[in-house]
A and B are shown apart, each in its own frame.
Chain A
Amino acid sequence: MFEPQPMRKVIIAGSKDYMKIAIDAMHKHDVVHITDFVDEDEDFKIGKPHESITKLSERAVSLRSLASYLSIKGKVDIPNKYPEGAIIDTIDAKTEQLDVEVTQVTDKISEIDSKIKDINDKKRLLEPLKNFDLPLELYTGYQSLAVFVGTLKNSPIISDITDDYELETAPYGRGRTISLFVPREFEGETLKRLQEQGYAALPLPKMEGVPKEILVNLEAQLAELQSEKQKCEGDLVDLRKKHIEYILASDEYLSIETQKAEAPLRFATTKNAFIVEGWIPTKDLGLIQSDLDRATNGHVVVSVDSSEAVDVEKVPIALKNPLPSKPLEVLVRAFSLPKYNEIDPTKLMTFMYPALFGLMLGDVGYGLLVIALGLLVSRVIKSQGMRDLAKIGVYAGVFSVIFGFIFNEFFGVEPFGHRGYLTFIEYPTVTRLDNVLTLLIVTLVIGLLMLTLGYVLGFINEYRQHGLKHAVFAKVSWLMMLWGGTIAVALVLPAMSSGTGIQLSLGLIAGLVLLVVGFIFMFMGEGAIGIAELPSLLSNVLSYTRLLSIGVSSMGIALAVNKLSDALFFSKGGIFVIFGVLLLIAGHAINTVLGILDSGLQALRLHYVEFFTKFYSGGGMKYIPFGFERKYTEEK
């Protein structure tokens, strides 16, 4: 019941002539976990990929470049699946034709882009000159005149050099642009003067006409190019819309074919035969046996390796859980997959994780919010991992609501009872702030029970893996110490705090005996190292007190938000009510996020650190069947 999917080790062997058919059949069923063959020797060699592989990769490269031009990225939902048969025959011709169509457009776009860049370069050169009305061609080609065109901080003063000059200036940026004509003989002196004032020469574009007019002209050209480019981009969008299904489907088809063509790299082959070693879930064994037999006319055999000495480390792990427990697998996988003969804790976590979460959050309002968020995310987000987490969130929210009713909390206020708003609903509630000591003891009991369960599961695991004696020394010993210690503390502590002397009762003796015997067992099993582990027993139990303290602190924040908004805004009335509502929304939103994160992580920690360490070591290898999950194509 708590184990992973049962697996059988199989050897699939046959004549090389039937290898392709066998690969097709295996791929179709998507159940064989192939163990890669690595130990080559004289007789057995690693297989060679099918000769079609070169062609396939070439096609894939051109198809993917098309996809990137049309900005088609994975994970697009398309309504209809493409029949595979329609791809096989036409893929070469169609991809080529598509390539031509797309390249036409993309080439045009890049041509336009280079033109646009050209125009923009010219514009940049002309921009500073746009206030001068002199045509560009008149700035150059004089023998007796020197021309300076450039930028300067202020208008230059050169009247002391010569009176015979022509100067035009215009504001530009933080300074000015100038065009200055002086007789050639003053060129050197003028340049020196200008440079002293921060002159930087402007390159003159090789064009004719008045800059302002050229600019207008260029602007018009630019607008035309831009609209042309927009049209081309529209064409690309049309192409994308028209061909997206085909491109996604052919890409998938090529991935599948490549996977099949490369499969022999994982096989052992001799001159005439091939051998595949792998694992198949027991339930699928019969189907694949009969199907391979039929497809290859009995030329390929699936034989089960039923030798006893199966190395559990090498069995691939597929978790086997009912649908409601499936989302929790993500938490188990995040820790580690179980080994083949280890208990899979997913089913237990389906109840325990949301319960611990709910106990911490414990608020009807926050619980409903978490449920709503969970439902929303599981609808909207596509990533499977996030969806699983969202579903766990829904479970957790339900428990939060249940505990919210018990604790009588709704966004930090008491909704029911004589102190609450709905005074007519009265039932026995356990408010957290009034029952700190009681709830503290409850959390410790929860811790005790969870650790006990952990040790019991650990006993089962150890018994299966190493036998009874080891299981007693490794797990029963700790269980005895846990309960012996608990009994002793439960009897001694009240006596000590109330000041009455410690009575040597039967219970106390029993507790102490358990403690000592457990310690001896532990010492026999684990030696001195076990002693170093002893304090962790206490800290593990105490660790469960977080179930109360996280809850109380989250409640404290909610309380503070309510009190603050009341004292600062609601009590003043009028317009302040709006601010009060805003503060309430923001405060409770932040507290919801904190509550989800903290309750979620701390509940997870109580599982990973306190609970799992008692029985679970994990380290299983993931079951990856040879096959493909088709999204865009249908099998022929």
Chain B
Amino acid sequence: MVDPMGAGLVAIASAIAVGATGIAAAMGEQMIGSAAIGVMAEDEGFFGKGLVMTVIPESIVIFGLVVALILLFVTLPALG
């Protein structure tokens, strides 16, 4: 039987991992995105490059997601 308190803490930890990194990624994407829109106003052809540039900070939230996955699927079963 998994300790409910421990399981809850693990769930909260994974939520923080995704949530906080999500905010961080959003802050990065916001800056890059607005710059990319600015460039696109000058040159429409930048759309593809701008899109790729904009998703670069997404790494942060993906690392958060990986941490959450490990917490939920590796750490949590190990508790019980």
Asked if B59 is at the interface (CB within 8 A of a chain A CB), the reply is: yes
Please, which residues of chain A bring their CB within 8 A of the CB of B69?
A: 436, 440, 548-549, 552
Asked if B65 is at the interface (CB within 8 A of a chain A CB), the reply is: yes
Please, which residues of chain A bring their CB within 8 A of the CB of B55?
A: 601-602, 605
Please, which residues of chain B bring their CB within 8 A of the CB of A440?
A: 66, 69-70
Nearest-Cβ distance from residue B33 to partner chain A, whole angstroms: 13
Nearest-Cβ distance from residue A259 to partner chain B, whole angstroms: 23
Asked if A334 is at the interface (CB within 8 A of a chain B CB), the reply is: yes
Binds A, one of B7-15, B34-42, B44-52: B44-52
Docked-complex contact B62 and A601, CB < 8 angstroms = no
Docked-complex contact A437 and B52, CB < 8 angstroms = no
Max chain A CB contacts within 10 Å: which of B52, B58, B65, B74?
B52
Docked-complex contact A549 and B51, CB < 8 angstroms = no
Q: How far is the CA of A609 from the CA of B56 in the complex (A)?
A: 9
Q: Mark A529-554, 1 if CB is under 8 A from B, else 0.
A: 00000000001001101101110110
Interface of A is mostly: helix
Docked-complex contact A605 and B56, CB < 8 angstroms = yes
Please, which residues of chain B bring their CB within 8 A of the CB of A550?
A: 62
Please, which residues of chain A bring their CB within 8 A of the CB of B49?
A: 334
Q: How far is the CA of A437 from the CA of B76 in the complex (A)?
A: 12
* Identity of the chain A residue whose Cβ is nearest the Cβ of B48 in the assembled complex: A334
Chain A: interface residue count, which band?
20 to 34
Docked-complex contact B62 and A608, CB < 8 angstroms = no
User: A437-B74, A549-B65 known; A602 and B58 CB under 8 Å?
Assistant: yes
Nearest-Cβ distance from residue A48 to partner chain B, whole angstroms: 33
Please, which residues of chain A bring their CB within 8 A of the CB of B48?
A: 334
Q: How far is the CA of A539 from the CA of B48 in the complex (A)?
A: 24
* Identity of the chain A residue whose Cβ is nearest the Cβ of B47 in the assembled complex: A334
Asked if A433 is at the interface (CB within 8 A of a chain B CB), the reply is: yes
Please, which residues of chain B bring their CB within 8 A of the CB of A604?
A: 52
Q: How far is the CA of A601 from the CA of B55 in the complex (A)?
A: 7
User: A334-B49, A605-B56 known; A545 and B73 CB under 8 Å?
Assistant: no
Nearest-Cβ distance from residue B72 to partner chain A, whole angstroms: 8
Q: Mark A585-601, 1 if CB is under 8 A from B, else 0.
A: 00000000000000001
Nearest-Cβ distance from residue A392 to partner chain B, whole angstroms: 13
Docked-complex contact A542 and B70, CB < 8 angstroms = no
Docked-complex contact B70 and A437, CB < 8 angstroms = yes
Please, which residues of chain B bring their CB within 8 A of the CB of A605?
A: 52, 55-56, 58
Q: How far is the CA of A549 from the CA of B73 in the complex (A)?
A: 12
Nearest-Cβ distance from residue A450 to partner chain B, whole angstroms: 16
Q: How far is the CA of A609 from the CA of B59 in the complex (A)?
A: 11
Please, which residues of chain B bring their CB within 8 A of the CB of A437?
A: 70, 73-74
Q: How far is the CA of A45 from the CA of B69 in the complex (A)?
A: 69
Please, which residues of chain A bring their CB within 8 A of the CB of B51?
A: 601
Docked-complex contact B65 and A553, CB < 8 angstroms = yes
* Identity of the chain A residue whose Cβ is nearest the Cβ of B68 in the assembled complex: A549
Docked-complex contact A436 and B70, CB < 8 angstroms = yes
Q: How far is the CA of A105 from the CA of B62 in the complex (A)?
A: 64
Nearest-Cβ distance from residue A331 to partner chain B, whole angstroms: 9
Please, which residues of chain A bring their CB within 8 A of the CB of B73?
A: 433, 436-437
Nearest-Cβ distance from residue B76 to partner chain A, whole angstroms: 11
Q: How far is the CA of A184 from the CA of B63 in the complex (A)?
A: 90
Docked-complex contact A549 and B70, CB < 8 angstroms = no
Tell me the chain A residues, 304-362 only, with Cβ under 8 Å from chain B.
334
Partner of A543, one of B59, B70, B74: B59
Q: Mark A424-451, 1 if CB is under 8 A from B, else 0.
A: 0000000001001100100000000000
Please, which residues of chain A bring their CB within 8 A of the CB of B58?
A: 546, 602, 605
Q: How far is the CA of A405 from the CA of B49 in the complex (A)?
A: 33
Q: How far is the CA of A552 from the CA of B59 in the complex (A)?
A: 15
Q: How far is the CA of A287 from the CA of B26 in the complex (A)?
A: 57
* Identity of the chain A residue whose Cβ is nearest the Cβ of B45 in the assembled complex: A334
Tell me the chain A residues, 532-584 only, with Cβ under 8 Å from chain B.
539, 542-543, 545-546, 548-550, 552-553
Please, which residues of chain A bring their CB within 8 A of the CB of B56?
A: 605, 609
Question: Can you list 15 A-B contacts with CB-CB less than 8 angstroms, sorted by A residue number?
Answer: A334-B52, A436-B73, A440-B66, A545-B62, A546-B66, A548-B69, A549-B69, A550-B62, A552-B65, A553-B65, A601-B52, A601-B55, A602-B55, A605-B55, A609-B56
Binding site for B on A (CB under 8 A): 334, 433, 436-437, 440, 539, 542-543, 545-546, 548-550, 552-553, 601-602, 604-605, 608-609
Top-5 shortest CB links A-B: A436-B73, A549-B65, A546-B62, A545-B66, A334-B48
Given A549-B62, A550-B62: 16 more A-B contacts, CB < 8 Å: A334-B48, A334-B52, A436-B69, A436-B70, A436-B74, A437-B73, A437-B74, A440-B69, A543-B62, A546-B59, A548-B66, A549-B65, A601-B51, A601-B55, A605-B52, A609-B56
